[in-house]
Structure 1
Amino acid sequence: MAKISDIAKRLNLSNATVSKALNGSKEISQTTQKLVKDAAREMGYVPSSFARTLKMHRSFTIGVLFVDETGSGLRHEYFSSILNSLKVAAEAKGYDLTFINNGNYSGLTPSYLQHVKSRGIDGVVITSVDFFDPDVSELAYSGIPVVSIDHMFEGCSSIMSDNEDGSYELVKYAYQQGHRRIAFIHGEDTGVTHKRIAGYLRALRELGLEINDKYLLPARYHDPDSVRLAFKELVSLREKPTCVLCPDDISALALLSSKNATYVRGVSIAGYDGISLSRMIEPSLTTYCQDSDKIGRFAVEELVSRIEEPKLFVPKTIKVKGFLQKGGTIQVSTGETTSEK
């Protein structure tokens, strides 16, 4: 395996110049950097991660704090897509990705912060957790570089999907299709849910529609059974809604499945997330698509900037815009849907 000294000898450069060129130092011209990197690639040079760690006093490892409370795990496309984007962006910056947990080690249960410190992790992306868990807050405010997704910690950068705008756009589209009785089945009590409810209510007010408390029901994210129960409650109303917004695509698709056809018939359905399956059914699902690729990429870019240039760090909140997928499951309404008594 080629060493820095081999590249230096071949190009008649000093070891220091070759090392700086490989690390992208501004002291070395772009022409020389290209020359050195081309030679390194040709000679099969592979940098020593251990040597780099010692020299830079960093592990070049980004931790991901992801707690699967719904049981869907990495099988859920939205989260797996974000994680894949984190991985690709981290690797492009020269970092490895690792998961953080507070599992049991030799009878001990370390906190998230202890786990991060013990493994020498340079920074952490926090996503899909109970953001009010004391262990999570301890990590966020520890001084270790942190970026959160869909939650704001004071002094930390955050990447926010446009949850309020998403539900707002869905209500507006349903209205344009003739719907006036629009219900919303939302997820658990989280910051994301609060934003989506705010968007739903804002749209109703702007459109001059009645705000009916019976049309706003709780369920659980990625839990079709809880959404099905809430939906049955809605369609049992004397004046049932003509359109129902679901908390996520999985639950919306479950409602549209053939086994639920009897009580879904005549009611338009919308989801949220924009998973690929929403475009594979006929008609395609009306939903709001979150840009998971940008969410993951921006999270890594902010975190690496915080790690590598701490003196220049200024906390940011970056809002990532999604888009409405009109689909065909919100149909034109005549407003005549009533419950079957």
Structure 2
Amino acid sequence: MKKLLLLTTGGTIASRPTQDGLVPGMDGAGLAARLSAVAENYELTIRDILCMDSSNIQPEEWQLIARAVYDARDGFDGVVLTHGTDTMGYTASILSFFLRGITIPVVLTGAQLPIEHPLTDALENVRTAFAMAASAAAGVFVAFDRKVILGCRAVKTRTTGFDAFESVNWPLAATVDAGGLHVCPGALPPAAPALTQLDDRLCRDVFLIKLTPGLNPEIFDMLLSMHYRGVVIEAFGAGGLHFIRRDLIAKLHAAAQAGMAVVVCSQCLYERSDFSIYETGKKALEQGVIQGWDMTTEAAVTKLMWALGRTEDAAQVRALFRESLCGEVTAELE
């Protein structure tokens, strides 16, 4: 039997009702008692590393989780991480960068209803996660609703539906049907040197802005005064930024001159941004903005945090964003 490690962090899957609402309150032993039928085909080890609502999982927890996976990588065939759904996309993305080159599957999963609920989706999600973790398909993934998504392409798109996650601008890494688990080799992460040392440095001073018509450009002055080193902007359409009356382009130039890394992607969930199409985009490129292409917002934010944790050199950050490190950007778009 394949040796799997189940790491628990809390989330809805492990929550119980209280007078204050659902609160994570079940440890790994409690989960295991309800997973006996799901886990019987594996040699399963369970370790509790956190017990948190995923809204409270932040960069410090990302580093702790990455270390737990890294330290266990040689003793198991695969790792499954139970996690709350709200920030699962961010955790999956940053783990994709931290654990690039890992030689086993690392699969995040959770549930929209607690595992103790009679209608829970937890058992199906964990069953899929176990199958993917035992598949020998190396990389970081999200398993939900009988689908497996590359970690840096997973986005939560529904608040209550069991099909809570979608694979954005990327084929599914695997699917489940009556024939079992079907892995799509073309959707797996690109080849990378085997992970031999964990480097979990990151920069927490990254801000996300969703552009709205009439946004005051002085927000960039505020971010600079707060010592933010990077910003990700969700621009209009393929990359529109206004510069009439409220000149965002000039402020982006000032921010870049001051050493801030600016990544711009699209507010549209699907397809790519491309700043070579319109005048506004070309002006932005002239001021040094970095294209996000078809990256998810979660991947753009975490990649920028990861990149700025390694270098303060703007050219090096730009070079990292031109490269697909773990499948986060479609290579032919670069």
TM-score of Structure 1 vs Structure 2, range by shorter chain: under 0.3
Q: Which has the higher contact order (CA 8 A, sep 6+)?
A: 1
Query: Which structure shows the higher strand fraction?
Result: 2
Greater Rg, structure 1 or structure 2? 1
TM-score (norm 2): 0.27
Which structure has greater helix proportion? 1
